[in-house]
Every structure is written in C-alpha cells, then in structure tokens.
Amino acid sequence: MNDMHRNSGAVLAPLVKTWLGLLALTGLSLLLGHVLHGEAGLQWVVAVVLWLKGWLVIRHFIEADSAHPLIRRVLYGFITITPALLLVTALFGRQLARMTTL
C-alpha cells in the first residue's frame, strides 16, 4: 500500500468515529423516545442530543474551526438557538400557541 492510501485512512479515522458517534446518538434518541415517551424531562434530553449532534457535524464534517469567524459564529449560533427554541416551546408551548392564534 502506498503512502497516499495510508494517509487517507488516517484522515478518515476521525470522521468514521464521528459518524459512529452520530449513529449512537441517533440510536440513543430512539431508545429514550420510546422509554421516556411523554415524560416531562424528555425535551431536555432531546435538546442536549440535538446540540451534541449539531456540534459534531459542524466541528468534524463542516470544519467550522477553519471557517471564517462570521461563518463559524453563525454555525455555532444555529446549534445553540435550535435546542434553546425547542426548550422554550416545551416550556411555554401553550402560551405561544395562544399568542399566535388568529
């Protein structure tokens, strides 16, 4: 095997580990959704898993750390605000529905 193939394997190893981590988090989400269906704390768990999966994708696949600072801030802001809005909806869903109903 030549050097190019050895180096590509070394470069792909962290991506494969990240992919396996994403698969594990997805499996954990399915399991927790089944076990904790309807429980009060499920939204918090979903928000944490959502943030972690977003962080893994942005860090390892999109490579945000090497992106322009503005792009990096937008990406990290997106993965921060999405779980936060999920929690706001879980906590204040009825009030939000009343405020937005015609």
| DSSP string computed for 6-31 | HHHHHHHHHHHHHHHHHHHHHHHHHH
The residue count for the chain: 102
Which pLDDT value is given to residue 1?
A: 52
Per-residue model confidence (pLDDT) at position 51: 96
Q: What pLDDT is recorded for position 26? A: 95
Alpha helices in the chain (DSSP H): 3-35, 42-56, 69-100
Whole-number pLDDT of residue 57? 96
Q: What is the pLDDT of residue 41?
A: 84
**pLDDT mean for each 10 residues of the chain (102 residues):** 63 92 95 87 91 96 93 95 93 88 82
Residue 49 has what pLDDT? 95
Q: Specify the pLDDT at position 3.
A: 58
